[in-house]
Amino acid sequence: MGYMKYSLYAVIFFALAAVFSSAWFGVRYFDGTVVAKPYDAALAWDRALVERERHGWAMMVDVPAPLQRGQTIVDIRFMQPDGSVAPITTAHIQVVAVHRHQERQEFVVTLEDGRFRVQPDFPYPGAWQVIATLQPETVPFTIEQNLYVVE
């Protein structure tokens, strides 16, 4: 009988340890990412993907190597499948840089020689995501590219 009692205590101890450690990790490492209406957001993402594939456009981000913290100049080109520059004006584009879903910057975009120029400030090192939302004559769509900023 004593063996069963200690086995039950061990199971209860490990179950409570799992619950408390899960709660601790959840509180400590939650980055605050919550998507409102995730089903609708997923459908919008799918529509944007279909539209981007229909156009066949790609985004090329030209940055200095290595990309350093602070103010820098980033050139963005949108290429059509044949390699030519896509016919987009500054009125049709919005560029945002996101760092771990905490730091979000929107940019004023200028058009120079077929390239869109933005001047972001990367205050933190690490992974940044450049998100360009294009609004051609049809459905708007998004193209994303990841950048890495060093110290």
pLDDT beneath 50: ranges in the chain: none
- Residue-level pLDDT at 120: 80
Those residues with Cβ within 8 angstroms of residue 71's Cβ, 6 or more apart along the chain or in another chain: 119, 120, 121
- Residue-level pLDDT at 111: 78
- Residue-level pLDDT at 47: 82
- Residue-level pLDDT at 8: 92
- Residue-level pLDDT at 130: 82
Is the pTM value of this prediction over 0.75?
Answer: no
Q: Are 80 and 59 in contact (CB under 8 A)?
A: no
CA pair distance 50, 43, nearest whole angstrom = 11
CA torsion sign, 59 to 141 to 93 to 79? positive
- Residue-level pLDDT at 137: 64
Give Cα 83 distance to the centre of its chain.
25
- Residue-level pLDDT at 114: 67
Q: Give strand pairing partners of 129.
A: 98, 146
Segment holding 118, helix H or strand E: strand 115-118
- Residue-level pLDDT at 63: 80
